Structure 1
Amino acid sequence: MTETVRAWRPEVPLLQEVLHARFEHHVYPAHTHDSWSVLLIDDGAVSYDLDRHAHEAVPAAVTLLPPHVPHDGRTAVPGDPFRKRVLYLDPEWLPAHAADAAARHPMLSTPEIVGAVERIHDALAAPGDALTVEGELLGLAQLVRPRLGENEETTSDRPLAQRLRRHLDDRFREAFTIAEVAEALGSSRAHLVRVFSQAYGIAPHRYVVGRRVDSARRLLLDGSSPAEAAAASGFHDQAHLTRHFRRVLGTTPGRFVAA
């Protein structure tokens, strides 16, 4: 397999760019980004210097590179290629002062963090899941912050959580972003996600997906086709419905109707 690079810019708040690459001989010179880089290694390993300290990025761990901090990169074993997936995120995804802690400890290896990054890439692989990607990015920030010494206390704000729930109930069949809802409710995205999750035990984007699946299930039982149920319940298309329907209910819409 030759060395390959694929990059694109999804229309998702906070997400500037996605990069998938396979390298064997390429060596990155020292450089910086104006974004947070969330690196996932699929095969091989990468040796790199970050802020003049040596590190290694390996599978089963997430590497977090802060904005404006110089780093380079190369295969850890000469002749052994590596494959990577990278998310480039807006600087405000994490507080500016978190950059120092990330530069000192860039490797995040908890299963929760690795799983969150995997879910983001899974959602990016199919159209129609921008809300899921945005929600998972906000959730990832909450997982990362304690690892960087950020133990922010969240004050309970049930009235705000209830306002958000009413908003989601009114609009779950529509295409929207958490950023739009936060602006409408006069709150930050991060605070909105925290208070909703605290009040109801579920992230806003997962609540919306659940409402959509529940709506599609009822429409299927009423005789709608999977394509009709998908369109009426807010899914991008039938494939989008099938992906979430299987995850929530353990079967596909077609099998659900047949049974």
Structure 2
Amino acid sequence: MASEPSRTSPTSRSSRTVSAWRPPVAGVVEVFHARFTEYAYPMHVHEAWTLLIVDTGAVRYDLDRHEHGTPHDTVSLLPPHVPHNGSPVTAEGFRKRVLYLDGTYLGDELIGAAVDHPDLRDPLLRRRVGQLHGTLVRPGEELEAESRLMFVGERLRGHLRGDPVASPRAADPVLARRLRELLDERVVEGMELREASALVGAHPAHLVRAFSAAYGIAPHQYLTSLRVGRARRLLLEGRTPSEVAVATGFYDQSHLTRHFRRLVGVPPGRFRAG
């Protein structure tokens, strides 16, 4: 279960606002969102890969005795065990979002390439990292987060190996049907992408692409649709939204409400009353 984000309030002399938590998503050690003005990081290291995007302002940092920067359209990837620091470029400071990924997530053989080119100018990668953060702040969206992280990692590996072009969509209707059957069996319990990949014997990226190509919808969207469909039936039987959320696999009532409103057009309470 995801731990609640911890926060600090801005101080009187300088602004420092932080949210940090560890989501139940394989490969993600920590999510860290921060707004700093005057604060500067001293030289330090991480055991994890540091995947950084800056939403406002800019950060300058030294990595392996070379200076780098992070304008808003850049994704920065700092390798584990390599010293670096960080400070705001201007007096306005910066607002950043960081993912700390397990030290084995990208492989030690890619550390050298990350040291040489830590700042990646790739609009698609930048957008995908932002979407992943948007998913990670919402409890109950682990399958979606795992899928988005997989595509982010795939593109990062491509950059570090000199070929950032994403793999083409894969047509494999048999594989897609096998995943659909697994999701149909596990509507309430849900399923991790890695578990599904192991059960069907396919790489997670190929599995998601095959499913999306066959059905025109991502696996996490398909599972959510099934859950909302079950929720409709239970609401029409007179069950309360809070009861229905638990019975259909949603994290809590607000999680149910968000998806129910998006797919049905009204919140579950109004649907039940009508």
TM above 0.5: yes
Instruction: Render the CA deviation track for 1:48-85: whole Å, top value 9, x for unaligned.
Output: 234444332234553333444443211111x3322222
Structure 1 residues 196 and 80: alpha-carbon distance in aligned structure 2, compared to 1, 3 A threshold: same
Q: Contact 1:46–1:56 (CA<8 Å) still a contact in 2? A: yes
AA aligned opposite 1:218: R
Q: Contact 2:73–2:121 (CA<8 Å) still a contact in 1? A: no
Q: How many residues align?
A: 257
* Distance in 2 separating the partners of 1:82 and 1:184: 44
**Correspondence for 1:243 among 243, 246, 258:** 258
* Distance in 2 separating the partners of 1:101 and 1:89: 17
Alignment gaps of 5+ in structure 2: 1-9
AA aligned opposite 2:93: P
SS in 1 for 2:96: strand
The residue that corresponds to 1:57 in the other structure is 70
Q: Quick check: 161-170 or 245-254, which moved more? A: 245-254
TM-score normalised over the length of structure 2: 0.77
Per-residue deviation, 1:190: 3.1
The residue that corresponds to 2:6 in the other structure is none
* Distance in 1 separating the partners of 2:166 and 2:134: 29
1:132-171 pair list within 5 angstroms: 132-142=144-154, 144=156, 149-151=163-165, 153=167, 156-171=171-186
Aligned-pair RMSD on alpha carbons? Answer: 3.0
SS in 1 for 2:92: coil
* Distance in 1 separating the partners of 2:25 and 2:249: 17
Aligned-pair identity in percent equals: 47
1:201-220 pair list within 5 angstroms: 201-220=216-235
The residue that corresponds to 1:90 in the other structure is 102
AA aligned opposite 1:233: T
* Distance in 1 separating the partners of 2:136 and 2:110: 26
The residue that corresponds to 1:179 in the other structure is 194
AA aligned opposite 1:118: G
1:29-108 pair list within 5 angstroms: 29-59=42-72, 61-77=74-90, 79-94=91-106, 99=111, 102-103=114-115, 104=117, 106-108=119-121
Q: Contact 2:154–2:166 (CA<8 Å) still a contact in 1? A: no
SS in 2 for 1:137: helix
Structure 1 residues 14 and 136: alpha-carbon distance in aligned structure 2, compared to 1, 3 A threshold: same
**Correspondence for 2:130 among 104, 118, 142:** 118
TM-score normalised over the length of structure 1: 0.81
SS in 1 for 2:29: strand
Per-residue deviation, 1:170: 0.8
SS in 2 for 1:83: strand
Instruction: Render the CA deviation track for 1:93-121: whole Å, top value 9, x for unaligned.
Output: 446665555552623452x4444333333
Structure 1 residues 248 and 115: alpha-carbon distance in aligned structure 2, compared to 1, 3 A threshold: farther
SS in 2 for 1:174: coil
Q: Contact 1:161–1:196 (CA<8 Å) still a contact in 2? A: yes
Alignment gaps of 5+ in structure 1: none
Q: Contact 2:74–2:119 (CA<8 Å) still a contact in 1? A: no
AA aligned opposite 1:43: T
